Amino acid sequence: MKTDLISEHNLTDDKIREIAEIIKQGGIVIFPTETVYGIGANALNTDAVKKLYKIKQRPLTKPISLLVSNMDMINQVAENITDMEYKLMNNFFPGPLTIILKKKDIISNIVTANQETVGIRMPSNELARKLIEYAGVPIATPSANISGKPSGIDIKEIEKDFYGKVNCIIKGNDIKFGISSTIVKVNENIPYILRYGSITKEQIEDVLFKS
């Protein structure tokens, strides 16, 4: 496979739309977010998600979170969202927080590793959000690394691992945090942090429990 290598600073809006269409049609694209580089596929395309697992050498038992561009897209893929979950999203989206929600049937079980829930994040990186918006679909996006290796922040390592295996790699210069997002799940109005990341437990508790 020919991999298109592009610098984010050389991207026109038309080119972003072209890359978004590649994702929509089942291609695989690596792009920057505000945390780490992500490797993304159309979350509504089961074959594309299977290809993503294979390229990353990711076990099918590990679910993949979705990137969305707006609240309407969240309501498309998740249901029974509680007031507390909405409060977290309203305060931390867009940003480096992934929230676990009950999935709708539109999301294939391969995305969620047969679980009834799905991780959702709205990135603050403008390019990432444009790709999602222009694709018009949520993007299944784990970190751009071979499973077992460190999260994708080294573009040279990413190119070495994925060149010839994905359709496009976008090199960005605004990876702000360099660590993965915080993952939170609300159960019976209690927030549980499943993975610590850029957003702290104290920040979450301040939003939910302090006036």
- Our CA angle for 172, 166, 34, nearest 5°, is 25
DSSP assignment of 23-70 equals: HHTT--EEEE-SSSEEEEEETT-HHHHHHHHHHHT--TTS---EE-SS
Handedness of CA 92, 31, 43, 61 (dihedral sign): negative
Contacts for 75 with CB less than 8 Å, ≥ 6 apart: 81
Q: What is the pLDDT of residues 10-37, one digit of tens each?
A: 899 999 999 999 999 999 999 999 888 9
Q: Determine the Cα–Cα distance for residues 2 and 205; give it in Å rounded to an integer.
A: 47
User: Once rounded to an integer, what is the mean pLDDT over residues 158-176?
Assistant: 89
Q: What is the pLDDT of residues 171-190, one digit of tens each?
A: 987 566 567 899 999 999 99
More confident residue, 77 or 149: 77
Q: What is the pLDDT of residues 54-104, one digit of tens each?
A: 999 999 999 999 999 999 999 999 999 999 999 999 999 999 999 999 999
Residue 36 near residue 121, CB atoms below 8 Å: no
Where residue 73 falls (left for φ over 0; alpha for ψ -120 to 50; beta otherwise) is: alpha
Q: Determine the Cα–Cα distance for residues 125 and 172; give it in Å rounded to an integer.
A: 10
Residue 42 near residue 140, CB atoms below 8 Å: yes
Give the three-class secondary structure for 12. coil
Whole-number Cα distances in Å, 7 to 40, 168, 171, 210:
17, 11, 5, 43
Residue 39 near residue 142, CB atoms below 8 Å: yes
Residue 148's φ and ψ, nearest 5 degrees, are 100, -20
More confident residue, 155 or 101: 101
Tell whether the model's pLDDT for residue 140 goes beyond 60.
Answer: yes
Q: Domains for the chain: give ranges and CATH numbers.
A: 4-209 (3.90.870.10)
